Chains A and B, each alone.
Chain A
Amino acid sequence: MSKKKQKIVRIIDLVHVYKGKVETIALPGINLTISKGERVVIRGKSGIGKSTLLHCLAGILKPTAGKILVESKNIVDFNEDQLAEYRRNTVGLVYQSYNLAPFLTVKENIEFPMIIAKVEKETIDKRVEELVEILEIERYLNQKPSYLSGGEQQRVAIAVALANKPRIVLADEPTGNLDVENSLMVYELLSQMCIVYNTTLITVSHDPEAVKYADREIILTKIKSKDL
């Protein structure tokens, strides 16, 4: 009998409406539970609300209604400072367009989340060394991201996301800009890293290949308030 896994994320009746001339219901009332260390892929058609869901999870977008319980704390109620701390320590973000600071070198990009989290210098150095070795990006440490290829940049983005050993990694179309070979490599790396560090991985993707590296596939459809 398998040991019951600890729930790390609980989404309860999550609603998000984009306001404008025409109101768009992006999330109609989502309920979702994700266990610690679980690798989840969220799939669905374009405009179905995958990214919105992920943004809400990352604390970047405040939902219109509902709850997001991360480690039993409702991040919807967090103030700006708490959200900043949440992004700093709890989640790591990987984006389709990498979102690496173009004005920092690769090394500085990886170091930054740790420095802001006031990690000691020695620990930072060790961690950077460890990450760059696993991700094979030693060569680019002192270069600016714009000098790297897409695959290389995404590997750096993974290092940045994992720098602070987050409990959850949120990946939004991480292979959207990559070719098949690089895509597989990114999935492999994300998956492996999450296994190594016991990190929960929530990936939003169109790519059916992503499912191969996930424990669970969630498909968002137009059906309202479907419990997932």
Chain B
Amino acid sequence: MKLMKIIVKGQKKAIIIEYTVILLLLIITSFSFSFYLSEYHDEWSNLVLSSEDPDFEVQIEQNFSCYLSNNALYSNHFNNYNYQNIVILPNILANIKIKNESIQVFNLVLINSQINDNSNYSLTYNEVIVQGDNLVNVKINDVSVDWNFPAVNGNITTVFIANETYFEPVFSPTTYLQAKQGLYGINVIITEAFFFKVVRDTGSSVLENVAAHEITIVNSFFRMNKTVYFNLLPNLLKENYGEWTKELRGNYFQFYDIFPLNSEIQITISFNDIFNVSMTKMFQKMNSLLVRTLFIVIVISSVFLYSAFAYLKQNQKEFGKIMQILNSRGGNYSSISKRLISLHIWNTTICILVSLLANFVFITIMKINDWSYSQLLISIVHIVAFIPIIAIQINSISEIGLRPIFKEEKKKLSYSKSEILSIIIQIVSVMLGLLAITVFWTINRTSLQSENLSSSSIWYISVSFCLFILLLFIIPRFLMHPIERLFRRLLEFFTPIHLYLTKALVSAFKSKKKLLTLSFFLLFFSSLLTSSYTTLRNHQSQFYESMELADISIITEASTITEIIPICSRDNCIVSYLDSTFTDKGYINVIYIEDPIKFYENAYFPDELFNEFSNRDVFNLLNLSSNNVITSSSLANSVGYKIGENISIPRTNTNLNVEYNIKELIDFAVFLPYFFPQEFSEWFLLKYDKNESNSTKFQYSIVSIMDKNNNINSLISYLDENNLWYSIISDDYYEYPNETLVAALQLPVLLMNIAIPFMLIIIFIDLQRACNNNLRFLKLRGMKNSLSRLTFTSWLFIFIFSISFTSLIIAIFGLNTIVYITNTKYGLPVQLSLTGLNYLIQVVALIFSIFVPLIASLIPKIFRKKPQVLNPILEGEVKNE
């Protein structure tokens, strides 16, 4: 304890400065992220908590008797959904008199409990609200409403006269259906509960006698409850939103398919993508803010870390003296070193606690403390900041050990002990990190959208990640040894002084260890960014290409296919049919394709992505028999299928019953969902059997047309005029999910590829200077200049070759782990893609390594650092005059 006190006393100033720097670093970094979080929170709350727009709208026009018979089933079928129902009943069912004048044109409007509960005036039985314009001077007593049929307990009491804007928020949730609702003029508003009580009391036949064939319009507005996702990752909400809309759409078709009587029903469906669009906009906005925040944080952190590092380095000298004094008083190196490490860790821990406290206060003031993102991100920021700080501290302590404080050889042992201690700490940290990441991931599988990842996959990813980190930090440290050996071996063939030359160069390089590490990391980051960029660019083009089956795909009602085919000529288009069915395994789409080989030839297949056969083999097999099926790997896995297994494919027969056909799963491809829009993503692809065509009812047909052979615009106009098409899939229909990331990477990649060579050349020149200083000793003893130049150039070349390609390999290894994680989520797998751009920085570095003496000589003298003068005689050697 006394020793610790002495160290603290001696290092008081250093500790305070270090403490201030680390604290400032942590606070500025985490506060920057807190501001970002606050912005994010505002945007996110607006989007998720106060999103009033309906996500799914349906307008069904049917006759009154149909409405009466379906309503109970409808309510039961959709009772799990949060929806508002506005029904415009035939006004013949009721009479309204205002100031004893009978009103002929009015709407009899039913609202469900969802609207009623949320409106300012909740209606009970027998109550009615009359709403309309020009009712300002009308009093409740002036209005009388009664049924136009003999009602049992059906007296109606007018309770409120509302102006035209009163129900606007609920009657006009979106502009899409508003025009069709016809809710203008005078509306007589009653509740569903009241109306159906009257129906039950009176008997539906009484009402049907009055209005059996009158049109009844049902407007349903469905809203997904997004608030439960408030504390989850946005992508999970997006995914669930997609699932929800798909399921609801399927439910609708299932509900109305069940009723053959509904052939007269006209359904207008509007799947609003407002939420997805606003979410994408929010992401774009927040991504650009994140990039700006990151940039600021990186700059600030670099400055602070550098300051801390520079200060600790400077402090080493002073601390070296303290150690010498303590040592002479009987303290040994390891005990001093251990205490110093504890002191630094303690210092950092206090800083982190203070910073966490400050952040907690800050996020409480910003009112985002209860948001799980803020807690998560602030914790991550502190953990991320903690690692470089500790690394710098350990490094600086090891450096003290490196200094020849004591001349005796036994002191070298102290250094090796300290280095071993440092390595052990690092390895233990990595192992703990591995364990923490794996446990964290396993526990938060749901919120991290990794449910489909098995435990072994999580371990694989964690181990790969840790291996990557280990390689990244250990390889630069140990790379020198193999390079030294290789270089010495090569040099042995050319000169007897190979050993001396190697020692001179190694010693020079060791004195520039930090610069070498920096150049390794510069090359690594450049490789990682460039590889990420080229990989994403490749994935982006694959995404867009694979979305195009042909130039354009038109989704039509299956019944209209016979009208469309003659227009676009069968030879120039690919026809497929879609059957969407509910099975015990969920809602799936089965696509029956008329000509699989044509499909294959027009589709884009990135490499050979089928597992057992080539792409063509798979489609040949599919073409030969209608008993084969291919599907996406994620779907096959999710329903527990394997290649070669027989699977049951559901099909709706002519009696509108679902029957199952046994098919063989010949192979699966992981990218195929992208041939169709995401709403049809869960599908099985089969060959269309023409013999069954007449006996099969399909929901949709898909006609894929090649623009070069058809005049698409005139075709679309024709289809539009005749209401023959449902929707069009074109290549710009879906945006690549990583579009923002690709765009954001473009500039950094460009800047890195421009800036890093400049930084490298500065480093190389400095290395050359260090090497020349060492080689001068040998030149003074008679080594030729030419040999010196050649040796340096070849040494630098071998070194740069080794570190640049090692950094590239590590970057690719790291990226591969990221790609592995990504591929568990995406249908279209990301494939590592290396182009010439990936090798650019390496090639430039190698060229620079060859020409560094020439480049150095071209740099104006004023920019050159004066060489370290070992002896005045060396000054004269710089240049013969």
Chain B residues 489 to 508 lying within 8 A of chain A, measured CB to CB, are 496-497, 499-500, 503-504, 506-508
Chain B residues with CB under 8 Å of A16's CB are 881
A113 adjacent to B873 (CB under 8 Å): no
| Set of chain B residues within 8 Å of A115, measured between Cβ atoms | 496-497, 500
B79 at the interface (CB under 8 A from A): no
Any A CB within 8 A of the CB of B786: yes
CB <8 Å contact, B876 and A84: no
Q: How far is the CB of B58 from chain A (nearest CB, A)?
A: 83
CB of B880 within 8 A of CB of A99, answer: no
Closest to A143 in B: B409
B784 touches A80 (CB 8 A): yes
In-complex Cβ contact of B782 among A19, A55, A99, A116 (8 A): A116
CB atoms of A85 and B782 under 8 A apart: yes
* A35 close to chain B: CB less than 8 A: no
Residues of B within 8 A of A96 (CB): 871
Contact with A along B371-394 (1 / 0, CB 8 A): 000000000000000000000000
**Docked-complex contact B504 and A103, CB < 8 angstroms:** yes
List of A residues within 8 angstroms of B876 by Cβ: 52, 55, 60-61
User: A198 interface residue, CB < 8 Å from B?
Assistant: no
Q: Flag if B778 contacts A101 (CB, 8 Å).
A: yes
Considering the chains assembled together, what is the distance between the CA atoms of A100 and B871 in angstroms?
A: 11
| Structural contact, A112 and B497, CB atoms closer than 8 A | yes
- Which residues of chain B are near A181, meaning CB under 8 Å? none
Docked-complex contact A103 and B507, CB < 8 angstroms: yes
Counting chain A CB atoms within 10 Å of each CB, which of B500, B507, B782, B876 scores highest? B782
Q: Does B780 contact A (CB under 8 A)?
A: yes
Interface size class of B (residues with CB under 8 A): 20 to 34
Give the CA-CA distance A82 to B335 in the complex, in Å.
56
Q: A18-B881, A60-B877, A62-B880 are in contact. Are A104 and B500 (CB under 8 A)?
A: yes
Q: Taking the complex as formed, is A147 at the interface, i.e. its CB lies under 8 A from any CB of chain B?
A: yes
| Beta-carbon contacts under 8 Å, B837-881 to A | 870-874, 876-877, 880-881
Count, chain A residues at interface, CB 8 A: 42
Any B CB within 8 A of the CB of A93: yes
B496 touches A84 (CB 8 A): no
Assembled-state Cα–Cα distance A85/B782 (Å): 6
Beta-carbon contacts under 8 Å, A84-110 to B: 84-85, 87-89, 93, 95-97, 99-104, 108
Asked if B407 is at the interface (CB within 8 A of a chain A CB), the reply is yes
In the assembled complex, the Cα of A119 lies from the Cα of B264 at a distance in Å of 110
Beta-carbon nearest neighbor of A121 in chain B: B496
Across the two chains, which residue of chain A brings its CB closest to B510?
A103
Within 8 A of A (CB), among B721-737: none
Nearest B residue to A96, CB-CB = B871
* A19-B881, A81-B786, A147-B407 as given contacts; A87 in contact with B873, CB under 8 Å: no
User: B774 on the interface (CB 8 Å rule)?
Assistant: yes
A84 to B782 CA separation, bound complex (whole angstroms): 4
Q: In chain A, what residue has the closest Cβ to B782?
A: A88
> By the criterion CB–CB under 8 Å, are A113 and B781 in contact?
yes
- Say yes or no for A25: interface residue by CB 8 A criterion: no
Chain A residues near B185 (CB, 8 Å)? none
Asked whether A80 lies within 8 Å of B781 as measured between CB atoms, the reply is no
Contact check, A101 vs B774: say whether CB atoms are below 8 A apart: yes
Chain B neighbourhood of A99, CB < 8 A: 777, 780, 870-871, 873
What 0/1 pattern do residues 767 to 793 of B give for CB contact below 8 A with A?
000000010011111111110000000
A146 to B876, CA, bound (A): 25
Q: B497 touching A116 by the CB < 8 A rule? A: yes
- Is B644 in the interface zone, CB < 8 Å from A? no
Check if B880 sits within 8 Å of A116, measured CB to CB.
no
Enumerate chain A residues within 8 angstroms of B779, measured Cβ to Cβ.
Answer: 84, 87
Instruction: Give A9 to B598 CA distance when docked, in angstroms.
Output: 94
Closest to A146 in B: B404
Interface string of A15-27 (1 = CB under 8 A from B): 0111100000000
Interface mask (B783-816 → A, CB under 8 Å = 1, otherwise 0)? 1111000000000000000000000000000000
A168 in the interface (beta carbon within 8 A): no
Q: Is A118 in the interface zone, CB < 8 Å from B?
A: yes
Instruction: Verify A84–B783 contact, CB threshold 8 A.
Output: yes
Chain B, Cβ-Cβ closest to A170:
B873
A184-228: contact bitstring with B at CB < 8 Å (1 yes, 0 no)? 000000000000000000000000000000000000000000000
B778 contacts A81, C-beta separation under 8 Å: no
* Contacts A/B (CB < 8 Å), 29 sampled: A16-B881, A17-B881, A18-B881, A54-B873, A60-B780, A60-B873, A61-B877, A84-B779, A84-B783, A84-B785, A88-B781, A88-B782, A93-B873, A97-B871, A100-B777, A101-B503, A101-B504, A103-B506, A103-B507, A104-B500, A108-B499, A108-B503, A112-B500, A113-B781, A115-B500, A116-B497, A116-B782, A147-B404, A160-B781
Lowest 5 A-B CB distances belong to which pairs? Answer: A88-B782, A103-B507, A62-B880, A61-B876, A101-B777
